[in-house]
């Protein structure tokens, strides 16, 4: 069995200016001195903060991620950002298909697939997000939905350069974390769909300092995608430094 990489990523969503981002690093970076090198630490910031973060993090172990990427390399796509615009800044990861993009911006399994391929072509590692709504869970549709999302998203996608995040929508920003054992079960189901069983699969949805140890103790869970708790340097440092 190949060893799976641990990836802990913060998703800042639409939070933090450049100045806020640099202020965050002042509090966060000193707390990484004891963090094992085996843990990949990523900050997925708004496009406008990436350049400032990149300059400050140059030579640091913390990698930078974007929260979206367009499928074309250039063109008439107002408001979108292409892969080479990100790699030029030193960006290494891109979140693709977050449920907020699917819900509010019309992202579909097809556009998610295009964006994944574009990220990989640009040399980025995409973090593919999948997850069911409360309604879908209550209707017993979780397994079918997740299977569809994973399979549609991964058509012609290179599974050697990929991270997946299982983020049940009902657990995002609600404080209502998915039971660790249940997250573990669904993540096992996702892994069973993959050609490459070594793809790191994260859990996301109300990950906090108080529950990260239990989540990371689950055998199928290889990391976390953290929203709210990644905004505060001390909280995110505690998450990155989870006790195993
Ligand atoms: P919260 O950690 O705020 O629940 O957000 C999770 C998320 O959506 C990360 O992408």
> In the prediction, which pLDDT does 216 show?
97
Q: Domains in the chain, ordered, with CATH?
A: 6-240 (3.20.20.70)
13 Cα: distance to centroid of ligand 1 (angstroms):
9
Atom of ligand 1 nearest to the CA of 230: 2
Ligand 1 proximity of 207 Cβ (cutoff 6 Å): yes
At 79, is the pLDDT very low, low, confident or very high (cuts 50, 70, 90)? very high
* Rg of the chain (C-alpha set): 17
At 72, is the pLDDT very low, low, confident or very high (cuts 50, 70, 90)? very high
At 240, is the pLDDT very low, low, confident or very high (cuts 50, 70, 90)? very high
Q: How many Å apart are CA 224 and CA 230, to the nearest integer?
A: 11
Which positions ≥6 away from 107 have C-beta within 8 Å?
97, 98, 101
Ligand 1 proximity of 168 Cβ (cutoff 6 Å): no
Q: Check pLDDT > 90 for residue 185.
A: yes
Mean pLDDT over 207-230 rounds to 97
pTM attached to this predicted model? 0.98
> In the prediction, which pLDDT does 244 show?
86
> In the prediction, which pLDDT does 125 show?
98
- Mean pLDDT, the chain, whole residue set: 97
Percent of the chain past pLDDT 90, that is, above it, reads 95
Please identify which of the residues 98, 100, 107, 132 carries the catalytic annotation. 98
Q: How many Å apart are CA 224 and CA 207, to the nearest integer?
A: 7
Atom of ligand 1 nearest to the CA of 165: 10
Residues 131-180 have pLDDT tens digits of: 999 999 999 999 999 999 999 999 999 999 999 999 999 999 988 889 99
At 20, is the pLDDT very low, low, confident or very high (cuts 50, 70, 90)? very high
155 Cα: distance to centroid of ligand 1 (angstroms):
26
Nearest CA to 145 out of 129, 165, 131, 164 is that of: 131
Residue predicted with more confidence, 148 or 1: 148
- Residue 141 is a catalytic residue: no
> In the prediction, which pLDDT does 175 show?
83
At 57, is the pLDDT very low, low, confident or very high (cuts 50, 70, 90)? very high
- Asked if 117 contacts 157 with a C-beta cutoff of 8 angstroms, the reply is yes
Pocket test for ligand 1, best of 225, 231, 235 (most atoms within 8 A of CB): 225
> In the prediction, which pLDDT does 176 show?
83
> In the prediction, which pLDDT does 1 show?
61
Mean pLDDT over 54-66 rounds to 96
Atom of ligand 1 nearest to the CA of 229: 2
At 65, is the pLDDT very low, low, confident or very high (cuts 50, 70, 90)? very high
Ligand 1 proximity of 225 Cβ (cutoff 6 Å): yes
- Residue 167 is a catalytic residue: yes
185 Cα: distance to centroid of ligand 1 (angstroms):
19
- Write out the DSSP string of 131-142: ---HHHHHTT-H
């Amino acid at each position: 069995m190949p060893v799976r990489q641990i990836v802990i990523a913060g998703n800042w969503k639409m939070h933090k200016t450049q100045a806020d981002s640099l202020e965050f690093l002042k509090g966060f970076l000193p707390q990484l001195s004891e963090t094992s090198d085996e843990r990949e630490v990523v900050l997925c910031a708004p496009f406008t903060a990436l350049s400032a973060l990149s300059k400050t993090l140059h030579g640091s172990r913390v990698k930078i991620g974007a929260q979206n990427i367009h499928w074309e390399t250039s063109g008439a796509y107002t408001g979108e950002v292409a892969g080479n615009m990100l790699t030029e800044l030193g960006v290494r990861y891109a979140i693709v298909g977050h449920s907020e993009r699917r819900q509010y911006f019309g992202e579909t399994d097809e556009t998610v697939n295009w964006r994944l391929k574009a990220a990989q072509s640009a040399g980025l590692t995409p973090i593919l997000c999948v997850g069911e709504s409360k309604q879908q869970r209550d209707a017993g549709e979780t397994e079918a939905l997740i299977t569809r999302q994973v399979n549609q998203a991964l058509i012609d996608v290179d599974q050697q350069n990929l991270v997946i995040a299982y983020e049940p929508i009902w657990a995002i920003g609600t404080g209502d974390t998915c039971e660790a054992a249940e997250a573990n079960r669904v993540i096992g189901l996702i892994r069973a769909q993959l050609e490459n069983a070594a793809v790191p699969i994260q859990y996301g949805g109300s990950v906090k300092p108080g529950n990260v140890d239990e989540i990371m103790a689950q055998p199928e869970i290889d990391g976390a995608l953290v929203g709210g708790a990644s905004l505060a340097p001390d909280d995110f440092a505690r998450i990155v430094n989870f006790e195993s």
